[in-house]
Structure 1
């Protein structure tokens, strides 16, 4: 499993959770899910959500261990990206 693409985003949207990042996820060589979201809950936890279909229904769901692994991978990728960006910004001054 790996993150193919991750872009940061820090707006609230319409709910209580904060959108931290959007990403594409490769589950296996044959399965990819585009438009995943990494969200921060009001309690400070991070969770991942699959894209929704028409009517707002989730188009994909995961077992709890798989969902936790996806969230950990997305959060790790996000942290690496933000840290690298901060370091490159500091080195240009």
Structure 2
């Protein structure tokens, strides 16, 4: 699994959205437009984009944790895809 691109959200007081990002899972599936958010208790959570008013994807807890960790690392390290977005 790898983060293809990550786009930091505009900073603002009390804004839970940290970034939007794209991820490739195991070389066979790419998901675009996921959101990385901070919950009120400080945890990070990923949210799939909406399609027709519903989330386009859901994730098993273990996979959600893996994607969240990868997105957090990409955001904190300054992902090279910043230049492409």
TM-score bracket, shorter-length normalisation: 0.7 to 0.9
Structure 1 residue ranges, 4+ long, deviating more than 6 angstroms after superposition: none
Residue in structure 2 matched with residue 54 of structure 1 by the alignment: 52
Residue 11 of structure 1 contacts residue 18 of structure 1 at CA under 8 Å; is this kept in 2? no
Superposed displacement of residue 29, structure 1: 1.9
When the two chains are superposed, the root-mean-square deviation of aligned CA atoms in Å is 1.8
Q: With CA pairs under 8 Å and 6+ residues apart, which has the higher RCO, 1 or 2?
A: 2
Q: Which has the larger radius of gyration?
A: 1
Gapped runs of 5+ residues in structure 1? 83-93
Q: Give, in angstroms, the shift of residue 17 of structure 1.
A: 6.1
Which residue, out of 67, 71, 76, partners 1:70?
67
What is the distance in 2 between the residues matched to 1:51 and 1:69? Answer: 18
Mark the runs of 5 or more structure 2 residues left unpaired by the alignment: 80-85
TM-score by length of 1: 0.76
Query: Can you list the C-alpha shifts for 1:46-74, whole angstroms capped at 9, x where unaligned?
Result: 0011111112x111111100001110110
SS in 2 for 1:44: coil
Count of matched residue pairs: 78
Higher strand share: 2
